[in-house]
Amino acid sequence: ALEVIELDQKTQLVMELDGHVLQCVRDQNGNHVIQKCIECLPSEKIEFIISAFHGQVFTLSKHPYGCRVIQ
């Protein structure tokens, strides 16, 4: 869906994940959602995702699902 909807709709949809980023990154399916957000939105629209990684990169890089997002 993120590939075909307008940027304002993408932004609104992705903002629903604010506060749940790390939970998604550590989830078998949620990590794919975060990856798609990173791929489909400009960096200024996903700053909250990047901020969630602050101080967590090393831990996430060793996590079976988190490492996929960090790559």
Average pLDDT over every residue of 6-13:
97
Phi and psi at residue 51, to the nearest 5°: -60, -35
pLDDT in tens, 24-46: 999 999 999 999 999 999 999 99
Retrieve residue 43's tokens: 């960096």
Q: Write the CB contacts of 25 (distance below 8 Å, at least 6 apart in sequence).
A: 31, 34, 52, 60, 63, 65, 66, 69
pTM (predicted TM-score):
0.92
| pLDDT for the residue numbered 1 | 80
Average pLDDT score over residue span 41-70: 97
Position 33 scores a pLDDT of: 98
